[in-house]
Amino acid sequence: MSNEFNVIVIGSGPAGYVCAIRCAQLGLSTAVIEQNVGEKSQPLLGGTCLNVGCIPSKALLDSSHRYAEAAGHLGEHGIEVAGVALDIPGMMARKDKIVSQLTGGVSGLLKANGVTVMTGAAVLNAGRRVEVTSVDGQTNTYTAEHVVLAAGSEPAAIPPAPVDNDRVVDSTGALCFEAVPTRLGVIGAGVIGLELGSVWARLGAEVVMLEAMDQFLPNMDEQIASESAKIFAKQGLDIRLGARVTDVAVEASHVTVTYAQGDSAHTEEFDRLIVAVGRTPRTGKLFSADSGVTVDERGFIFVNEFCATEAPGVWAIGDIVRGPMLAHKGSEEGVMVAERIHGKSAQLNYDVIPSIIYTHPEVAAVGKTEQELKSEGIDYKSGTFPFAAIGRALASGETEGMVKILSDANSDQILGAHVVGPAAADLVQQIVIAIEMAASTEDLQLMVFGHPTMSEAVHEAALAVDGRAIHMVNRPKR
Ligand code: FAD
Ligand code: NAD
């Protein structure tokens, strides 16, 4: 095997493997280096997303939702289910099978595209020389015209709550509890806290979430965040805002958490504690000082809008660079970089990246929030429509939440959409397409939406922007 490639990609997560496939499709000789290996030293591909992130969490979210439906919610449909029982090992085995099916799929795709896969921890040195140390300690050096850094991120830690992978776990540990905790504490009411807190709450745990910020989901549209908070509270998630954890004491049978809220101190006992306070870029041992790569003040690799680093021929994509830590954001950066290496003028619209919290109902968003429009001084129009007035939502018994669409007051161009409710992820994706096509709410108003579908809420919200929704009484417009 040659030690020289057109492109070396370090990391096989959704940013790295997608970049490698696109490079290979464009005829570039491409290698991927992955440090994550299995018991037989085989590469474990797919990164955080496939192994301990998006996919296993969604498998458990879907399984736990089905359990909650069977155990509690089917009665309203006239379906009585007796003897519903949990099989946690079975649920975990299903999740693990999905993970290996998908990671195997990535392996097959890389092979089919002629990408060379190597295992080991890679370090980028000056002159795009990549030193790879395998598990047996052997070191080899490879060179490439272009190196793409895609090393991802890892769970952030906080001093009062060190993870012991027993009573105190991070997101990875929370994906493989062997039994349902009776009382589960979660530090951080962000995306991971809400998703994994929901999984275990549905399976029977009493869940208390301790969130340092005074505001719930501060980056979401305020109206949607407040609606979501009410829905989650009804589901039994006990979310305590402004709660600063000061001490965590692990004892034989439980963990004691002390936190401050306002001027008062509180203590809670849990049998398990999840620390979900964000993620940090995995850049510590990725490049040497003379590589030419620089990081910003938060440790993210410094890149321009096309993901080029300050070192010639070195690119960085995914969670190790600025922007939302989302699999689809990293993948599209991977495609953009592959195209640019090949000489094309690809770019990515960072303003139109959807984000989704896969609770039930889902919370999803794209574009500007109402508070952002206000603070930027943009004159806007807003339309909301509740799922309670959508026939399909009633038929499904999924009436919580709403669709909200924001548009420019002068041009009517759509600027943002925010949804909490059934199929929110897919409804927001419709608006992603609309924004990318520079559509106005009038365009949506004039389109035909199938009946009865959840997407009629998008149509009605677009109509509501101009005070002309049909299936609710419109509020007078400004
Ligand atoms: P990663 O997926 O972290 O992959 C990086 C890879 O590089 C890893 O395999 C690592 O082993 C390898 N590596 C690192 N350093 C080296 C080195 N020196 N040498 C060789 N290999 C190296 N995002 C979504 O969009 N939707 C979701 O539903 C979602 N759910 C999530 C749920 C959880 C519980 C978590 C933790 C995350 C979730 N995310 C989700 C976030 C998503 O997983 C990440 O944004 C995404 O995986 C980042 O992709 P990446 O390729 O940049 O990095
Ligand atoms: P997050 O940023 O979404 O939430 C972390 C929360 O912890 C925040 O609300 C923060 O205020 C709080 N926090 C921070 N320090 C704290 C402290 N000391 N005490 C109490 N609360 C504290 O991060 P996350 O939930 O850990 O997720 C990490 C990343 O993974 C996110 O960037 C997210 O984009 C990605 N992710 C995405 C999905 C998805 O797309 N559905 C799912 C899971 C994770």
Q: Domain segments of the chain: what residues?
A: 4-155+280-350, 168-277, 361-465
Which protein residue's CA is at the shortest distance from atom 29 of ligand 1?
54
Helix (H, G, I), strand (E, B) or coil at 206: strand
Q: Which of 75-84, 211-220, 421-430 has the lowest mean pLDDT?
A: 75-84
Catalytic residue among 77, 451, 459, 471: 451
Beta carbon of 194 within 6 Å of any ligand 1 atom: no
- Tell me the average pLDDT of the chain: 97
Mean pLDDT confidence for 137-142: 96
Q: Are strands 414-421 and 168-169 parallel, antiparallel or unpaired?
A: unpaired
Residue 478's pLDDT band (cuts 50, 70, 90): low
Whether residue 254 contacts residue 273, with contact meaning beta carbons closer than 8 Å, is answered with: no
Beta carbon of 31 within 6 Å of any ligand 1 atom: no
Please measure the distance between the N-terminal and C-terminal CA atoms of the chain and give it in whole angstroms. 69
Res 128 pLDDT > 90: yes
Mean pLDDT confidence for 48-52: 98
Mean pLDDT confidence for 255-272: 97
Q: What is the pLDDT of residues 302-334, one digit of tens each?
A: 999 999 999 999 999 999 999 999 999 999 999
Nearest atom in ligand 1 to 36's CA: 11
Q: What is the pLDDT of residues 348-373, one digit of tens each?
A: 999 999 999 999 999 999 999 999 99
The pLDDT value recorded for residue 477 is: 65
Q: Domain 4-155+280-350: which CATH class?
A: alpha beta
Mean pLDDT confidence for 165-193: 98
Ligand 2 centroid distance, CA of 243 (Å): 15
* Burial (0-12, 13-18, 19+ Cβ within 10 Å), 173: buried
Q: What is the pLDDT of residues 189-234, one digit of tens each?
A: 999 999 999 999 999 999 999 999 999 999 999 999 999 999 999 9
Q: Which ligand is nearest to the CA of 58?
A: 1
The pLDDT value recorded for residue 219 is: 96
- Per CATH, 168-277 and 361-465 having the same topology is answered no
Angle at 219 between CA 214 and CA 222, to 5 degrees: 75
How many angstroms separate the CA atoms of 149 and 330, rounded?
11
Residue in the block written with tokens 């000789």: 29
Mean pLDDT confidence for 448-453: 98
> What letter does residue 3 receive in the DSSP assignment?
S
pTM for this structure? 0.97
Res 158 pLDDT > 90: yes
The pLDDT value recorded for residue 476 is: 72
Mutational test site, ligand 2, from 55, 279, 353, 363, max ligand atoms within 8 Å of CB: 279
For the structural domain made of 168-277, what CATH number should be given?
3.50.50.60
Res 255 pLDDT > 90: yes
Continuous segment of H or E residues that includes residue 315: strand 314-316
Which tokens sit at 361? 């109902």
The pLDDT value recorded for residue 73 is: 82
Mutational test site, ligand 2, from 51, 172, 191, 319, max ligand atoms within 8 Å of CB: 191
Residue 40's pLDDT band (cuts 50, 70, 90): confident
Ligand 1 centroid distance, CA of 14 (Å): 7
The pLDDT value recorded for residue 437 is: 97
What is the chain's alpha carbon radius of gyration, rounded to the nearest angstrom?
24
Say which CATH topology domain 361-465 has: Enolase-like; domain 1 (3.30.390)
Provide residues with CB under 6 Å of ligand 2: 158, 187-193, 195, 210-213, 245, 276-279, 324-326, 355-358
Is 146 a known active-site residue? no
Ligand 2 centroid distance, CA of 143 (Å): 37
Letter string b/e over residues 291-309, b meaning 16 or more CB atoms within 10 A of that residue's CB: bbbebeeeebbebeeebbb
Half-sphere exposure (CA, 13 Å, Cβ side) for 126? 2
Ligand 1 centroid distance, CA of 265 (Å): 36
